[in-house]
Protein backbone atom coordinates (compact mmCIF):
# COMPACT_ATOMS: atom_id res chain seq x y z
CA UNK A 1 0.00 0.00 0.00
CA UNK A 2 1.14 3.54 -0.74
CA UNK A 3 2.88 4.99 2.36
CA UNK A 4 0.60 8.04 2.18
CA UNK A 5 -2.27 5.77 3.23
CA UNK A 6 -2.55 3.75 6.43
CA UNK A 7 -5.62 1.57 6.96
CA UNK A 8 -6.25 0.06 10.37
CA UNK A 9 -9.17 -1.87 11.83
CA UNK A 10 -10.51 -0.88 15.24
CA UNK A 11 -13.19 -3.37 16.21
CA UNK A 12 -16.10 -3.03 13.82
CA UNK A 13 -14.68 0.20 12.38
CA UNK A 14 -11.72 1.06 10.20
CA UNK A 15 -9.60 4.20 10.03
CA UNK A 16 -7.89 5.41 6.88
CA UNK A 17 -5.16 7.94 7.68
CA UNK A 18 -4.12 10.00 4.66
CA UNK A 19 -0.83 11.92 4.78
CA UNK A 20 0.59 14.60 2.50
CA UNK A 21 -1.46 15.70 -0.47
CA UNK A 22 -5.00 14.76 -1.45
CA UNK A 23 -5.15 15.89 -5.05
CA UNK A 24 -5.45 14.56 -8.59
CA UNK A 25 -2.38 12.35 -8.09
CA UNK A 26 -3.91 10.54 -5.10
CA UNK A 27 -7.65 10.83 -5.77
CA UNK A 28 -8.20 7.46 -7.45
CA UNK A 29 -5.95 5.61 -4.99
CA UNK A 30 -7.83 7.04 -1.99
CA UNK A 31 -11.24 6.19 -3.48
CA UNK A 32 -10.00 2.70 -4.36
CA UNK A 33 -8.69 2.00 -0.86
CA UNK A 34 -12.00 3.06 0.67
CA UNK A 35 -13.97 0.86 -1.75
CA UNK A 36 -11.68 -2.11 -1.07
CA UNK A 37 -11.91 -1.66 2.69
CA UNK A 38 -15.70 -1.41 2.64
CA UNK A 39 -15.89 -4.40 0.29
CA UNK A 40 -13.81 -6.64 2.58
CA UNK A 41 -15.29 -9.62 4.38
CA UNK A 42 -16.51 -8.70 6.90
CA UNK A 43 -16.75 -5.03 6.00
CA UNK A 44 -16.30 -2.42 8.71
CA UNK A 45 -19.53 -0.79 9.84
CA UNK A 46 -17.88 2.62 9.47
CA UNK A 47 -14.71 3.84 7.80
CA UNK A 48 -13.33 7.00 9.39
CA UNK A 49 -11.11 9.26 7.30
CA UNK A 50 -8.29 10.75 9.37
CA UNK A 51 -7.18 13.77 7.38
CA UNK A 52 -5.22 15.43 10.18
CA UNK A 53 -1.93 14.98 8.28
CA UNK A 54 -3.17 16.29 4.91
CA UNK A 55 -0.97 19.28 4.07
CA UNK A 56 -2.61 20.11 0.73
CA UNK A 57 -6.04 19.39 -0.71
CA UNK A 58 -7.53 20.85 -3.88
CA UNK A 59 -10.77 20.34 -5.77
CA UNK A 60 -9.64 16.86 -6.83
CA UNK A 61 -9.25 15.91 -3.17
CA UNK A 62 -12.70 17.28 -2.47
CA UNK A 63 -14.02 15.30 -5.43
CA UNK A 64 -12.43 12.16 -3.91
CA UNK A 65 -14.29 12.75 -0.65
CA UNK A 66 -17.57 13.34 -2.50
CA UNK A 67 -17.05 10.19 -4.61
CA UNK A 68 -16.54 8.19 -1.41
CA UNK A 69 -19.67 9.69 0.10
CA UNK A 70 -21.77 9.17 -3.04
CA UNK A 71 -20.67 5.55 -3.33
CA UNK A 72 -20.76 4.54 0.34
CA UNK A 73 -22.95 7.10 2.13
CA UNK A 74 -22.82 7.18 5.91
CA UNK A 75 -20.34 4.28 6.01
CA UNK A 76 -17.66 6.93 5.35
CA UNK A 77 -17.21 9.54 8.05
CA UNK A 78 -14.70 12.30 8.68
CA UNK A 79 -12.45 12.04 11.68
CA UNK A 80 -9.88 14.70 12.48
CA UNK A 81 -8.99 17.04 9.65
CA UNK A 82 -6.13 19.46 9.12
CA UNK A 83 -6.66 23.21 8.92
CA UNK A 84 -6.23 23.01 5.14
CA UNK A 85 -9.04 20.45 4.79
CA UNK A 86 -11.27 22.24 7.28
CA UNK A 87 -10.93 25.48 5.36
CA UNK A 88 -11.71 23.88 1.98
CA UNK A 89 -14.79 22.14 3.39
CA UNK A 90 -15.98 25.38 4.96
CA UNK A 91 -15.37 27.46 1.81
CA UNK A 92 -17.26 24.99 -0.37
CA UNK A 93 -20.11 24.39 2.10
CA UNK A 94 -19.49 20.64 2.01
CA UNK A 95 -18.59 20.07 5.68
CA UNK A 96 -22.18 19.13 6.49
CA UNK A 97 -22.26 16.42 3.81
CA UNK A 98 -20.10 14.14 5.94
CA UNK A 99 -20.82 12.76 9.35
CA UNK A 100 -17.97 13.57 11.70
CA UNK A 101 -16.50 11.51 14.48
CA UNK A 102 -14.03 14.20 15.46
CA UNK A 103 -11.25 11.74 16.29
CA UNK A 104 -9.88 8.40 15.25
CA UNK A 105 -11.63 6.52 18.03
CA UNK A 106 -14.41 5.33 15.75
Tens of pLDDT along 73-104?
999 999 999 999 999 999 999 988 876 655 43
3-state DSSP call for residue 62? helix
Q: Is there a domain that residue 106 lies in?
A: no
C-alpha to C-alpha distance for 16 and 1, rounded to whole angstroms: 12
Q: Is there a domain that residue 36 lies in?
A: yes
**Residue 63's CB: how many other CB atoms inside 10 A?**
15
Q: Is there a domain that residue 105 lies in?
A: no
What is the span of the domain harbouring residue 18? 5-100
- What CATH number does the domain containing 80 carry? 3.30.750.24
Q: Is there a domain that residue 72 lies in?
A: yes
Q: Which of 104, 53, 55, 45 is nearest to 79 (CA)?
A: 104
C-alpha to C-alpha distance for 13 and 10, rounded to whole angstroms: 5
In tens, the pLDDT along 19-74 reads 999 999 999 999 999 999 999 989 999 999 999 999 999 999 999 999 999 999 99
Residue 29 phi, psi (nearest 5): -65, -45
Q: Is there a domain that residue 53 lies in?
A: yes
Report the domain count for the chain: 1
Does the structure show a pLDDT above 60 at 106?
no
Q: Which of 101, 103, 102, 78 is nearest to 88 (CA)?
A: 78
Q: Is there a domain that residue 17 lies in?
A: yes
Q: Is there a domain that residue 80 lies in?
A: yes
Q: Specify the pLDDT at position 103.
A: 42
Q: Cβ contacts of residue 68 below 8 Å, gap of 6+?
A: 30, 31, 34, 49, 76
Amino acid sequence: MDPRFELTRQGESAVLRIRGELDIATEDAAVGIVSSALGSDPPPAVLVLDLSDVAFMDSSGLRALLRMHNRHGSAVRLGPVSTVVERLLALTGTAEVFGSDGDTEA
